[in-house]
Amino acid sequence: MKSHSELAEKFNADEARVDWHDETLWWVRTKRDRMSHALPEWEQLRETASQIKNNVLSNLNEYLIRFEANASANGMIVHWAADAQEHNEIVLSLIKQQGVTQMVKSKSMLTEECHLNEYLEQNGIDVVDSDLGERVVQLAKEPPSHIVLPCIHKKKEEIGELFHEHLGTPKGNADPQFLTHAARLHLREKFLTRKVALTGVNFAIAETGEFVVCTNEGNADMGAHLAEVHIASMGIEKIIPQRKHLGVFLRILARSATGQPVTTYSSHFKKPREGKAIHIILVDNGRSVHLGRPDFRNALKCIRCGACMNTCPVYRRSGGHSYHTAIAGPIGSILAPNLDMKKYADLPFASTLCGSCSNVCPVKIDIHDQLYKWRQVIVKEGNVNTEKSVGVKAMSSVLSSPATYRASGKIGRWIMKHFPFVVNNKFNPWYKQREMPVPPKESFRDWYLKNKKA
């Protein structure tokens, strides 16, 4: 498994592409700024959203039980899944019950987290992702690189190539409108013929047993309304207490995500139509464990807007795939170690701790503070290489002893001055693209001792 820094270095081999990726996402961040700055009550909305979510996390069990009761009373069928495996098995069994081998699916980061597509494929089910960006990465056999903009790493020419290969569009045509129309025709056939449709869930309301799915393309609705069976997969943290709270969340979600006032479609599902069925799968998959980590639990407030990715200077210059997890960027880096600390030990270090992520977060998750705290946990649990461990220990003993510190500084400066090749070589990552500082003849302390007034 390659680490974030290795994958990021690969991504940076094509600097023009990095510039394009950075500019594209910065443009989204700018749109978000324009929208949020236009609302004088923006910071109040963030605070309110944060407090509602805090309340949810403190009373999650009660809200879930209430939601289950109300959703069931509405005629929907509620399933509980302890982990990804259970979730995937439930989905497969529901598909099999219908006697079909095909399913259409709108965007759901939870199913990415559960690797549902791979599981269903292995079990002979053909899954079509109906979100345009998701369809693009599915055709390219890649995971999404961004939770809101799944194929943001792809240029339109590359999408034209993919569509030519898979959908038979003319070679060399990269006109976005033309390609979108081709995708529309391609997907329409899927919508009309699939009996089972899966959607994600943005908000589930405990008070009413309803849930809300937000999309810009209407693809969740097309899938759900045309199928016999609608499966809605949701992480247990997606609960909100009351319907009125949507007034806060729907206002902040799209503004934070793409700089739109609201998603084009915010579809409310309450009960199945005559003869149809709605199944809701409530998935834990590590969330209860996360809830039990006091320093990290509030990461579960996340509403998956992706604002932290768009603003992250590292994400913009390393690409979503460099995070080697379903949810990339700053939020992914504080969620992933909870699932597998060893595998994702590199992610909390893939940050300069600049803090921009915490500032854009619409539910005020202290993302950069959690990155710092994960670093401490990861090192304490032994997920650190010996080289680094030895290095930091040596540094710590030097910096704890004034005399050793001064001697080391003096020797270091002397070596840099007289034998610069000792530091100016390919083994020094600093020197690869940067000059080393010019060593001065004396330290500040030396100067101070000579010059301070008696």
- Binder among 218, 241, 359, 420 for other proteins (CB under 8 A): 359
Asked if 39 interacts with other proteins (CB under 8 A), we say yes
- Binder among 382, 412, 414, 417 for other proteins (CB under 8 A): 412
Q: How far is the CB of 261 from other proteins (least distance, A)?
A: 15
- Binder among 22, 47, 228, 295 for other proteins (CB under 8 A): 22
- Binder among 384, 415, 420, 423 for other proteins (CB under 8 A): 384
Window 189 to 248, contacts with other proteins (CB under 8 A): none
Q: 215 with 263: CB under 8 angstroms?
A: yes
Name the phi and psi angles at 9, rounded to 5: -65, -40
Nearer to other proteins, 285 or 356 (CB): 356
Q: How far is the CB of 303 from other proteins (least distance, A)?
A: 17
Q: How far is the CB of 62 from other proteins (least distance, A)?
A: 34
Asked if 415 interacts with other proteins (CB under 8 A), we say no
- The stretch near other proteins (CB under 8 A) out of 147-155, 171-179, 328-336, 385-393 is 385-393
Window 256 to 315, contacts with other proteins (CB under 8 A): 311, 313-314
Q: How far is the CB of 42 from other proteins (least distance, A)?
A: 4
Nearer to other proteins, 3 or 98 (CB): 3
Nearer to other proteins, 32 or 135 (CB): 32
Asked if 421 interacts with other proteins (CB under 8 A), we say no
Q: How far is the CB of 240 from other proteins (least distance, A)?
A: 23
- Binder among 145, 215, 219, 318 for other proteins (CB under 8 A): 318
Asked if 8 interacts with other proteins (CB under 8 A), we say yes
- Cα angle value 244/46/216 (rounded, 5°): 70
* Residue 99: burial class (beta carbons within 10 Å; 0-12, 13-18, 19+): exposed
Tell me the sheet residues that pair with 210.
Answer: 205
Total binding residues toward other proteins, as defined by CB under 8 A: 74
- Binder among 145, 215, 351, 370 for other proteins (CB under 8 A): 351
Matching residue, tokens 């599902």: 269
Separation between Cα atoms, residue 201 and residue 280, nearest integer Å: 9
Q: How far is the CB of 436 from other proteins (least distance, A)?
A: 7
Q: How far is the CB of 369 from other proteins (least distance, A)?
A: 9
Asked if 338 interacts with other proteins (CB under 8 A), we say no
Asked if 450 interacts with other proteins (CB under 8 A), we say no
Q: How far is the CB of 133 from other proteins (least distance, A)?
A: 24
Window 392 to 411, contacts with other proteins (CB under 8 A): 392-393, 395-397, 399-402, 405, 409
Nearer to other proteins, 33 or 228 (CB): 33
Asked if 444 interacts with other proteins (CB under 8 A), we say yes
Asked if 372 interacts with other proteins (CB under 8 A), we say yes
